[in-house]
A and B are shown apart, each in its own frame.
Chain A
Amino acid sequence: MATVLDFEKPIIDIQNKIEELRQLSENSGLDLEDQIESFEKQAEDKKKELYSTLKPSQKLQIARHSERPKFLDYVHIMCEDFIELHGDREGMDDRAIIGGIAKLNGKPIMIIGIQKGKSTKENLEYNFGMPQPQGYRKALRLFKHANKFKMPIITIIDTPGAYPGIKAEETGQGAAIAMNLREMSKLSVPVISIISGEGCSGGALGLAVSNVVMMLEHAYYTVISPEGCASILWRDAGKFADAAEALKITSKDLLELGIIDEEIVEPLGGAHTDHVETAKAMKEAILRALENLSKMSSEELRIQRYDKFRKMGKFIES
């Protein structure tokens, strides 16, 4: 049974009615097709209405949905011949960040993402999508590999944040992210990032200093988790819905602010309802962006990326 989000309940109620009618029709032999059809239309309309007016806190629930596609799902649907490349060469293979070479429409790419699990066991392996410094350093090694062999880089980001742990601090969590921000700006190949679920803080940005940054429709991208923000500013983590509102974390808000370049529309009902359709939409968006970036020289790519981030920020000068 699929996980149902609380705000989806009206849809579920209608779907249950449809199911009842079907049973009745089967058992009694009555023709109830017209009624069923009308309820189906009702369910569809309700879904459209609900999903077009989602509150930021509801988007949070969708972005964190346990059945939402994970990084490797996208890789397997979008790419051919994925070969995972492991390790930071300094003693660790952080499983929260996975990367490797693959073909996208026949062309080689480097694809790197933050992986979450689908079960508790998997989540323990992937550390709930919270990378360690070694994960960021592995990513940097793969960025440099791609740069050397002129492969475009795709990063797919879904993280509640970089891991807050003892070893992470001892081995330079901040410094590892900072180094990626700096080194990504120097890459001579096209770099495209997609925030696919949770885009929390520096842990997300550490893979997202890119020529084109896109976001799935119900993903969120923020400087701090709404819960973290609420516990600091409101002194009550329970106020996370207010914080989610204030932080402007949705794709529409961020498009308006110029933080992201494109929104990728999800299937009605969210990415978790149709992994293949979601991955297809993502692939189309990536191919379009790659096509545009392929017209630029290495130098132009670097300049475009630098200038894009250089311009960010709002202030006055007087």
Chain B
Amino acid sequence: MSIQEWFEKRKEAQIERRAKEIKGVENDAPELWTKCVHCETQLLKTDLEENMMVCPHCDYHYKINARKRIKQLVDEDSFEELFKEIKPIDPLGFFDTESYANRLQKAQTKTGLNDAVITGLAEICGHKIAIAVMDFEFMGGSMGSVVGEKVTRIMEKALELKIPMLAVTSSGGARMQESALSLMQMAKTSCAAGKLDEAGILYINLLTEPTFGGITASFGTLGDIIIAEQGARIGFAGRRVIEQTIRQKLPEDFQTAEYLLKYGQVDIVSKRKNLRRTLANILEMHEK
């Protein structure tokens, strides 16, 4: 290899390294650019990442996974994960077009999670909280036995430590593959929320895109304060089911956070970039 060749190789490697840096560490897509799914503006992926996965042009809030959400909300290095050892099984031997066991394994590989919620202790601007964050990427964030158990345990932890509880939801509802066992998680988590209520412990819901079905009909709406992230769709029944039942066209903004605010169903609609500050303020004002 001539000196010149060596220099050229080095230069190429440098360019590649820089490109990787720009792409961001978590990014596995080869392109640097992306088109906003909402306004179709060309965006540099790093700009989108740096803007908390919110389009800098149209303010569209992208769905984000549980790890990213935790990173955005809580103080750096303050998160201590709990109940990670609770793992799902296939209690009914459920098989549709594919076995539940298979679907679980795929979701686990895809997300690196055991199930659709991460639970633990953290701090927001120095305020200690117990936190549960759902992950939509894991089977649509659906709640089966594991999600129900982890949410219940972290609520019990909040009760034990007498610290506020924050539940960040993103879910299509109860998990069909565990049938009635999933349904009962709605009762279990709601009863646990009842304990927090009786003990006078602050419970905050943060509803994010999307929160539906068994989640809005259980721990997802039992908070003392309900915050919805801008643009999130929130409801009990899905839009299609409602349209089929009533045979009417629904308003364009039906079941959005802003729509629910208008009808008195949530306390606050917040942009992603303001969430941390809003939460910190609320926590501060409820400190005993």
Residues of A that sit less than 8 Å from B by CB: 162-166, 168-175, 177-179, 181-183, 185-186, 201-202, 205-206, 208-209, 221-224, 228-229, 232-234, 242-243, 246-249, 254, 257, 259, 305-306, 309-310, 312-318
Give every chain B residue within 8 A of A232 (Cβ-Cβ).
Answer: 176
| Pairs across A and B, CB under 8 Å, 14 listed | A163-B245, A201-B174, A209-B191, A246-B95, A246-B96, A247-B179, A247-B180, A259-B180, A259-B184, A312-B185, A313-B185, A314-B181, A316-B86, A317-B86
- Residue ID in chain B nearest A260 by CB atoms: B180
Give the most central of A171, A202, A223, A310: most B CB within 10 Å. A223
Tell me if B254 and A169 are in contact (CB < 8 A): yes
Give every chain B residue within 8 A of A208 (Cβ-Cβ).
Answer: 187
- Residue ID in chain A nearest B115 by CB atoms: A315
Residues of B that sit less than 8 Å from A by CB: 85-89, 91-92, 94-97, 144-146, 148-149, 152, 174-176, 178-188, 190-194, 197-198, 213-222, 235-238, 241-242, 245-246, 248, 250, 254-255, 263, 265
Assembled-state Cα–Cα distance A310/B263 (Å): 33
Assembled-state Cα–Cα distance A240/B221 (Å): 31
- Residue ID in chain B nearest A221 by CB atoms: B180
Tell me if A169 and B255 are in contact (CB < 8 A): yes
Tell me if A313 and B263 are in contact (CB < 8 A): no
Give every chain B residue within 8 A of A246 (Cβ-Cβ).
Answer: 92, 94-96, 179
Give every chain A residue within 8 A of B221 (Cβ-Cβ).
Answer: 172, 174-175, 178
Tell me if B145 and A315 are in contact (CB < 8 A): yes
- Residue ID in chain B nearest A204 by CB atoms: B183
Q: How far is the CB of A114 from chain B (nearest CB, A)?
A: 16
- Residue ID in chain A nearest B216 by CB atoms: A174
Give every chain A residue within 8 A of B178 (Cβ-Cβ).
Answer: 223, 314
Tell me if B148 and A223 are in contact (CB < 8 A): no
Give every chain A residue within 8 A of B248 (Cβ-Cβ).
Answer: 166
Tell me if A186 and B187 are in contact (CB < 8 A): no
- Residue ID in chain B nearest A170 by CB atoms: B263
Given the interface pairs A178-B190, A224-B176, the reply to whether A169 lies near B89 with Cβ below 8 Å is no
Give the most central of B85, B222, B237: most A CB within 10 Å. B237
Tell me if B176 and A169 are in contact (CB < 8 A): no
Tell me if A205 and B187 are in contact (CB < 8 A): yes
Give every chain A residue within 8 A of B198 (Cβ-Cβ).
Answer: 186
Tell me if B152 and A310 are in contact (CB < 8 A): yes
Given the interface pairs A178-B190, A185-B191, A312-B187, the reply to whether A164 lies near B236 with Cβ below 8 Å is yes
Give every chain A residue within 8 A of B176 (Cβ-Cβ).
Answer: 223-224, 229, 232-233, 247
Assembled-state Cα–Cα distance A171/B263 (Å): 7
Tell me if A205 and B186 are in contact (CB < 8 A): yes
- Residue ID in chain B nearest A136 by CB atoms: B217
Give the most central of B96, B146, B235: most A CB within 10 Å. B96
Given the interface pairs A233-B96, A314-B89, the reply to whether A309 lies near B184 with Cβ below 8 Å is yes
Tell me if B213 and A164 are in contact (CB < 8 A): no
Give every chain B residue within 8 A of A305 (Cβ-Cβ).
Answer: 191
Pick the residue among B149, B246, B250 that contacts A315 (CB under 8 A).
B149
Give every chain B residue within 8 A of A163 (Cβ-Cβ).
Answer: 245
Given the interface pairs A178-B221, A259-B181, the reply to whether A315 lies near B87 with Cβ below 8 Å is yes
Tell me if B180 and A248 are in contact (CB < 8 A): yes
Q: How far is the CB of A261 from chain B (nearest CB, A)?
A: 13
Tell me if B235 and A169 are in contact (CB < 8 A): yes
Pick the residue among B179, B181, B222 that contacts A178 (CB under 8 A).
B222
Given the interface pairs A164-B237, A186-B198, A316-B89, the reply to whether A309 lies near B187 with Cβ below 8 Å is yes
Q: How far is the CB of B227 from chain A (nearest CB, A)?
A: 14
Assembled-state Cα–Cα distance A166/B154 (Å): 34
Q: How far is the CB of A169 from chain B (nearest CB, A)?
A: 5
Q: How far is the CB of A70 from chain B (nearest CB, A)?
A: 21
Give every chain B residue within 8 A of A186 (Cβ-Cβ).
Answer: 194, 198
Give every chain A residue within 8 A of B96 (Cβ-Cβ).
Answer: 233-234, 242-243, 246
